[in-house]
Structure 1
Amino acid sequence: MSKFKLMNANFEESLNLSDDSLISFMENDTNNRGIYNGKNKIGITIIAIIMFGFNFFISMIVQIGIEGKLGESTLSQPNINFLPMWVPIGLFIVWLVIWLLLKKNNYYSISVYRRMLTVNNYLVWLILEANLFFLTFFLTTLTFLGALTIFCFLGLTSYIIFRSKSRSLENNLFGGKSKLDKIDNFIQKLINFLFKYGWIIVIVVILWKFIFSNTTGVRTDIVGLVGIIAMWLIVDIAFIFAEAYLFLPYLLYGYYKYKYPEEYREWEGKTQLEWYGEKYFNKHIKGTEKEEKKNDGN
């Protein structure tokens, strides 16, 4: 099986993606929203400024926390800053470079997918910063082993979810059924076990701290700590599911529209001007061999 099999379907096979209900939902949703279809450029600019500012604000909060200026906390004082200001600056530069590259050879019918990919790249940036934020403040409390356990769990969860969705998309594109190998079976069982019995471990930890704690304050703090860590995991897992089940299929469909532009244009029954947009058509299509010659019957 090719590593990039999902990206190697021919035009006829790629059409099978149009039957996916989630892709259809994303298509209708993005095409009707000004932030994606480009009709609300002022709103997009304002939202972008606010969101970029928020990412840099997270780094500022971490720096204030490292300096001990956030007030009293039940958590141990962090001694390693995993989110210094150069991190959001670097991630912003990476995001900006990708954005500029995506704008090249961009035409009307794929512009909505480009904007969605740009939004997705920002969300990846945001979730990465959020994890570095939590890691900075919780590493001392969790210890290295505890933090490593959390990220290993998230890594295994990501693998299972993306592997499962990728195989589902492959079946959709090419037909047939894929079987799990021994490693997949092992990881699948491990993830199922953690999801099924992980809450028992959390309850045992809370009861242990409740029974053997010296003050009621510690008991409350432990409950709060477990709740925050649970929220951390839930947010990450929700993001992983969104990436695998919403963004991946939708962006894959957009990739095939970019790969087979003329085929999809004809399949959707649009003229080249409608498909590419006036600006792109006049610059790259009109007067070239790519321009579709109308049959006038003579």
Structure 2
Amino acid sequence: MNMGNLFKASFEESLNLKDDKLINYMKNDVERWDLKERPILLKILALALIGMLYGIVLFTNRIVTNHDRDGFVPQAEVNFLPPFIFWIFLVMYLVIWAYTLIKRYRATKFVWGYINVVNIFTWLVIEINLYFITAFLKPLTAIGMGIFFSIILLIGYIVVKSKKASLENLLYKKNKKEKVDKWLEKIINLVVKYSSIVVIIGFIWNFIFPSGDAPRTDMTGFIEILAMWLALDIGFIIAQAYLFFPYLLHGYYRHKYSEEYRNLEGQTQLEWYGEKYFNKHIKGTNKEEKI
């Protein structure tokens, strides 16, 4: 699957992305210029999330070394989430975060910041998958685990292929829309419009803890957890394909054709780039606009 065509649009063609309802939703949801920035709060939240990610590592190690003999799942023999995995991801995350700080300027600060959000979300999903692989490899067996991930990969391929074709049609005005894309967009629009995180968390909590004090450990509970694992991975793939990637693709073109978008929106270079970036990278160079 060649994704390269999505990054070859001209400035005029890139403007067609504004016709995507979900991109507009993401822009309105992410780019909140009316909210005051709270860098200290953001750093605290980031540290809390990183702490939670390390907690998943410790919890995974616990199910290997301190197995509950009364549990339905047999003791895991291989830990697929050792501590060094966490440290590798942490270093990668910090390197990318530092790079986004260097590259960002006022008009694209939300896009670069959102890259870090997507990265930490991806990191979380990977850790959750490694935890479940550690816990369920033995009861599922290697064949069962292979079938499980084959289903996810097949669905992921269909979803990504459909959205890729849809974005190409949008960029280059081919006026052809995939049936899968139409169906998924309707579902996502409904989810965006009517769902809430609280409801989802409450549903999952009741699903795993029906009595309110202990997780289910019978075959039904095992199947329910597998179903939630499958739903998590498929939901993440759909969110990446239909929300995260299209918004970041729009940000890619705003960065690639920065001056064209600036002129389109009628801003000065100082307004567009911000005082700090303008003084450091634009002022006094051949990039500075002569008035």
Shared topology, TM-score over 0.5?
yes
Map of 2:238 onto structure 1: 241
Alignment deviations for residues 189-239 of structure 1 (CA, whole Å, 9 cap, x no partner): xxxxxxxxxxxxxxxxxxxxxxxxxxxxxx971111110000000111111
Which AA in structure 2 matches 1:241? Answer: I
CA distance in 2: counterparts of 1:121 and 1:38, whole angstroms: 23
Q: Which has the larger radius of gyration?
A: 1
CA drift of 1:105 comes to: 2.9
Are residue 269 (structure 1) and residue 242 (structure 2) matched? no
For the Cα contact (< 8 Å) 2:72–2:217, is it kept in 1? no
CA drift of 1:22 comes to: 0.9
Taking the TM superposition and a 5 Å limit, the aligned residue runs for 1:203-242 are 221-242=218-239
Q: Percent of aligned positions with the same letter in both sequences?
A: 44
CA distance in 1: counterparts of 2:54 and 2:3, whole angstroms: 36
Superposed CA RMSD: 2.1
For the Cα contact (< 8 Å) 1:64–1:70, is it kept in 2? no
CA distance in 1: counterparts of 2:104 and 2:44, whole angstroms: 23
Please say which of residues 102-111 and 151-160 is displaced more in the overlay: 102-111
CA distance in 2: counterparts of 1:12 and 1:275, whole angstroms: 19
CA drift of 1:106 comes to: 1.9
CA drift of 1:72 comes to: 3.0
Are residue 256 (structure 1) and residue 262 (structure 2) matched? no
Map of 2:5 onto structure 1: 5
Which AA in structure 2 matches 1:293? Answer: K
CA drift of 1:23 comes to: 0.9
CA distance in 1: counterparts of 2:83 and 2:230, whole angstroms: 25
Are residue 160 (structure 1) and residue 155 (structure 2) matched? no
For the Cα contact (< 8 Å) 2:79–2:134, is it kept in 1? yes
Alignment deviations for residues 236-290 of structure 1 (CA, whole Å, 9 cap, x no partner): 1111111000001100000000100000001111111110000000111112211
Select 1:287's aligned residue among 270, 284, 287.
284
Which AA in structure 2 matches 1:250? Answer: Y
Change (3 A) 1:2 1:72: closer
Gaps in structure 1 of 5+ consecutive residues: 185-218
CA distance in 2: counterparts of 1:179 and 1:253, whole angstroms: 19
Count the aligned residue pairs.
Answer: 255
* SS of residue in 2 equivalent to 1:104: helix
Change (3 A) 1:122 1:33: farther
Taking the TM superposition and a 5 Å limit, the aligned residue runs for 1:1-298 are 3-32=3-32, 39-70=37-68, 72-176=70-174, 221-294=218-291
Which AA in structure 1 matches 2:276? Answer: K
Gaps in structure 2 of 5+ consecutive residues: 181-215
Normalising by structure 2, we get a TM-score of 0.83
* SS of residue in 1 equivalent to 2:278: helix
For the Cα contact (< 8 Å) 1:82–1:135, is it kept in 2? yes
* SS of residue in 2 equivalent to 1:252: helix
Normalising by structure 1, we get a TM-score of 0.81
For the Cα contact (< 8 Å) 2:57–2:83, is it kept in 1? yes
CA distance in 1: counterparts of 2:10 and 2:121, whole angstroms: 30
